Structure 1
Amino acid sequence: MTFNEMTPRRQDQLMAFDRLLTIMDELRERCPWDRKQTMDSLRHLTIEETYELSDAIMENDLSEIRKELGDIQLHLVFYAKIASEIAADSSDPSATNRFDMADVLNGVCEKLISRHPHIYGDSEGRLVIAETEDQVKANWEQLKLKEGNKSVLGGVPGSLPALVKAMRIQEKARGAGFDWDEKQQVWQKVEEEMEEFKAEFNAESNTVIDHQRAEGEFGDLLFSLVNYARFIDINPETALERTNKKFIKRFQYIEEQARANGKALIDMTLAEMDVYWNEAKKDV
């Protein structure tokens, strides 16, 4: 399909992307700050932008989501620009792996096509059956193993937050057929892990506990809860973050009411704070 054959909106999208690429070229050439940046210097900024996008999504703020998507897209273009600047005859060992944005986009397009054989066909043009989400995920994991992954779990980033990592590990294990059959079995595992955790200490006494063993059992309990959440279609990271935000709003209400009454939290009793907490629960 040629540019003129595209819909006006698709033309607008391509022109907007071209505009960003052009601006990136200009900034990289003329702006002292942009010229100085490297992939390493951008890394922590990209992580920050990703968390800002996450916050906007949690708040369902479409205006902020659009802005944060733009910031992240800028970073993606920036990385590709830096990679394209590596001289082909450079002594840098990575020179043979230089790429630009076209390589990035074509690469992901090829990957999407190869990993959706139920849409585009396999290497021999045959459509693979995948009528359910689970079948798609199972095919996806098998394709990644054929591409060179030594383990189904190899694609889970080591630096993921532990709660997110636990869910991704479980999802990938399920894709390989390693999973419980019924949610009742998973809940039984939660109860089993709770009993094992409780067995490490007596909550009603001040007996010294083995922190290492208790920590291990607590980790097992959290992992089993994440597993159960997955079975009932709850994202544990989202659930915990919503609870975090709820707690923050309620606690800030206590602070606001305390100030309005000329009090400081440090001087208030827990019973006094509970009054405001219960008021906050009515609204948040």
Structure 2
Amino acid sequence: MQDKYKVEDLLHLMAQLRNPDGGCPWDLKQTFASIVPSTVEEAYEVAEAIEIEDYEHLHEELGDLLFQVIFYSQLGCEQGYFDFSRIVDTLVRKLVRRHPHVFPSGELYGDNDSGSVDEAQVKQNWEAIKTEERNAKGESGVLAGVTVGLPALTRAAKLQKRASQVGFDWPNISGVLDKIEEEVAELREAVETGDREHAREELGDLLFSCVNAARHLKEDPEASLRHCNRKFERRFGSVEAVLKAQGRRPADANLEELDQLWDRAKAGEKPGSAQ
């Protein structure tokens, strides 16, 4: 009986999938760029499994995400850029360098008796080390290196966090909430004037301010919105179920009736329900 497969087996499997002689036609035609959407999707599926506490299937989702790394390593090896061992080596060296409080000797297996250190100091050291790394890459400026390809809400939070580290931030959430109210008023004014370009800009300002509120609440804006999406799906599903029992569809009901069914679905949920 086959023992549990290891990383080496996964690397071999990937090489076989990409083998021009008998490999998988789909895998053979993939490129770095073509599998990026799958990588993003797999990362979100991991996040969703954790958020809904589906730990029974989390290992499977993590495996799917790991496979993306294996795929990139195979492409990198074929094109002479890097292989899996280099990915691991670079990662380990970076993590050792970024954790001097755990590896004071700078060696993974060296003398690591570093004594105690508080979390605040760890965060301060982490940011200082990352700044040094960005400078070494020629990335100057407080906001340099915040990846453009991130989801917009996540990138907004990272930009705001960087700015806050040099003192450009509201002292508390009260100022943020005042700003949200100001942006709502400006958006309303833009809509009333019929200026679509201005309205789009004000909408962006409002969303950016909402991300700021999430950051001050120490909440992930992407996770908060995903939670809201699931809540909307659940409640609307309840509305559909009631109408289906009557032999009807949502399109057969007027807005007033839909609102009443929505309120009923909302009232029937437990406060703080996350599922």
Q: Which residue of 2 aligns with 1:194?
A: 184
Contact 2:134 2:145 in 1 (8 A): no
What TM-score do the two structures reach when normalised by structure 1?
0.78
SS in 2 for 1:234: coil
Which letter does structure 1 place at the counterpart of 2:124?
Q
**Alignment length, in residue pairs?**
257
Change (3 A) 1:246 1:26: same
Whether 1:267 and 2:252 are equivalent positions in the alignment is yes
Change (3 A) 1:186 1:278: closer
SS in 1 for 2:169: coil
Change (3 A) 1:282 1:194: closer
Which letter does structure 1 place at the counterpart of 2:103?
Y
Post-superposition offset of 1:239: 1.3
Separation of aligned partners in 1, 2:118 and 2:268: 45
Q: Which residue of 2 aligns with 1:65?
A: 58
Separation of aligned partners in 2, 1:36 and 1:219: 38
Q: Which residue of 1 aligns with 2:43?
A: 50
Equivalent positions of 1:1-284 (< 5 A) are 16-29=6-19, 30-33=22-25, 34-86=27-79, 95=80, 98-121=81-104, 131-132=119-120, 134-148=123-137, 149-201=139-191, 207-284=192-269
Post-superposition offset of 1:191: 3.2
Post-superposition offset of 1:245: 0.9
Separation of aligned partners in 2, 1:198 and 1:36: 49
Change (3 A) 1:131 1:67: closer
Post-superposition offset of 1:100: 0.8
Separation of aligned partners in 1, 2:195 and 2:35: 42
Post-superposition offset of 1:216: 1.8
Separation of aligned partners in 2, 1:159 and 1:236: 16
Question: How far does the alpha carbon of each residue in 1:72-96 deviate from its partner, in whole angstroms, 9 at most, with x for none?
Answer: 111211211121123xxxxxxxx4x
> Unpaired runs of 5+ in structure 1?
1-11, 87-94, 202-206
Separation of aligned partners in 2, 1:274 and 1:213: 31
Which letter does structure 1 place at the counterpart of 2:132?
L
Which letter does structure 2 place at the counterpart of 1:146?
N
What TM-score do the two structures reach when normalised by structure 2?
0.80
Which letter does structure 1 place at the counterpart of 2:240?
E
SS in 2 for 1:200: helix
Post-superposition offset of 1:232: 1.5
Q: Which residue of 2 aligns with 1:9?
A: none
Which letter does structure 2 place at the counterpart of 1:142?
T
Contact 2:99 2:126 in 1 (8 A): no
Which letter does structure 1 place at the counterpart of 2:184?
M
Post-superposition offset of 1:101: 0.6
Change (3 A) 1:198 1:141: farther
- Higher alpha-carbon deviation: 188-197 or 249-258: 188-197
Separation of aligned partners in 2, 1:260 and 1:228: 41
Change (3 A) 1:244 1:209: same
> Unpaired runs of 5+ in structure 2?
270-275
Contact 2:98 2:126 in 1 (8 A): no
Post-superposition offset of 1:250: 0.9
Post-superposition offset of 1:163: 1.4
Separation of aligned partners in 2, 1:48 and 1:28: 22
Separation of aligned partners in 2, 1:200 and 1:175: 33
Post-superposition offset of 1:261: 0.6
